[in-house]
């Protein structure tokens, strides 16, 4: 995604620079909101009484 922003800014016109800035802002927005959304979903499930999934140790037969 960042490579596309740099590729778009190659012309150095105002339109291409604005497009590159928009792409970079989308990337930053996704990187900031993904952990927050994940935490909110996990916290809501935990408060609803769901237990986190854990990998059980396999018993040797």
Find the mean pLDDT for residues 23-39. Answer: 90
pLDDT at position 44: 93
Res. 58: pLDDT tops 70: no
Q: Which of 21, 44, 20, 24 is nearest to 32 (CA)?
A: 24
Q: Please state the length of the chain.
A: 61
Q: Note the pLDDT of residue 10.
A: 67
**How would DSSP label each residue in 6-41?**
HHHGGG--HHHHHHHHHHHHHHHHHHHHHHHHHHHH
**52 secondary structure, DSSP code:** P
CA–CA gap between residue 6 and residue 49 (Å, rounded): 46
Mean pLDDT score of the chain: 81
Neighbours of 4 (CB within 10 A): 13
């Amino acid at each position: 995604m960042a490579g596309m922003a740099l590729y778009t800014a190659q012309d150095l016109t105002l339109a291409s620079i604005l497009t590159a800035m928009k792409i970079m802002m989308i990337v930053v927005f996704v990187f900031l909101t993904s952990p927050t959304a994940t935490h909110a979903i996990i916290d809501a499930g935990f408060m609803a009484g769901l237990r986190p999934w854990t990998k059980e140790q396999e018993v040797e037969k």
